[in-house]
Amino acid sequence: MAVEASISDKLTMLWNLQLNDSLLDEIQILKGELPMEVADLEDEVAGLDTRIKKMKAALKESEQEITKMQTSSKEADANIKKYQKQLEEVKNNREYEALQKEIELAKLDIQLSEKRVREAKAGLDGKKESMALAEAKFESKQKELEAKRVELQGVIEKTETEEKRLRKQSDKLREGIEARLINAYDKTRRTYRNGIAVATVERNSCGGCFNNVPPQVHLEIGLHKRVIACEHCGRILVDQSIVSPESMVAA
C-alpha cells in the first residue's frame, strides 16, 4: 500500500509545479500573439483566395456572355445582308414587306446586343478592378503571413527543446499530486492572467494578491498540517521553508 505524501511534500510538489509552469508561461509570452496572428492571417488569406477564385469564375462567365452577344449581333448583321440581297429578287409587295420586317427586327437585335455588350463590358471593368484590388490585398497578406510564420518558427526553434522538457516535467510533477489539488491549482491558474496558483507569504502578505495574511493563518501555513488558500484570491500559500533559495530566484 502506497504511503500518502505529507502535506509538506504536497506543498513542495505544488510549488515546483508552479515554478515549472511559470517557465512555460514565459515561453508563451515570448511567442506572444504570433500563433493567433498566424492563424488569423491564414484564415484571411484562405478567404481572399476563395473570393478571387469566385471572381475569376464570374469574370469568365461575363466574358463568355459578351462573346455570345457579339456573336448574336454578327449573326443578325449577316441576316440583314442576306435579306437585303433577297429584296432584289422579290416578286410582290407581300414578300418585300416581310423581308423589310425581318431587316428591322435584325437591326433591333443588333442595337439591343450592342447595348447589352456595353453594359456588360462596364460591369466587367468593375469586376476586373475589384479583382485587382483583391489580388493586391491577397499578395500583401500572403507576404505578411510568410513573415509572421518565419518569426513564429524562429521563436519555436529557439524554445522548442526547452518547452518539451518543461511540459514533460509538468506531467511528471502532476502525477505525484492528488486530483483534488490539481483541479484547484488548474482552476486558479485559469483565473489569473499571470497564471500564479501557488504563492509565497512575504512580509505577512500573499505573494499573489498582496493582501494581508493574519498571523494565526501564517502560523498554520508554517506547520504544514493542511493546504491553506488565501482567503482573498484563493491561491495556495506556502512558507519560506518550502521555497528553496534557487526556487525563490526562479519565482
Residues 112, 165 within the same domain:
yes
Mean pLDDT of the 174-197 span: 93
Residues 148, 185 within the same domain:
no
Any idea what the CATH number is for the domain that residue 49 is in? 1.10.287.1700
Q: How confident is the model at residue 220 (pLDDT cuts 50, 70, 90)?
A: very high
Closest CA to 159 of 40, 13, 34: 34
Task: Please report where in the chains the cell 463590358 appears, as a residue.
Answer: 121
Angle, alpha carbons 48-54-59 (nearest 5°): 120
User: Residue 2 falls within a domain, yes or no?
Assistant: no
Any idea what the CATH number is for the domain that residue 21 is in? 1.10.287.1490
Residues 149, 185 within the same domain:
no
**C-alpha cell at position 47:** 478567404
Domain boundary among 134, 156, 173: 173
Residues 21, 42 within the same domain:
no
pTM of this prediction? 0.55
Q: How confident is the model at residue 1 (pLDDT cuts 50, 70, 90)?
A: very low
Residues 130, 211 within the same domain:
no
Q: How confident is the model at residue 250 (pLDDT cuts 50, 70, 90)?
A: very low
Residues 73, 135 within the same domain:
yes
What is the total count of domains within the chain? 2
User: Residue 1 falls within a domain, yes or no?
Assistant: no
Residues 82, 120 within the same domain:
yes
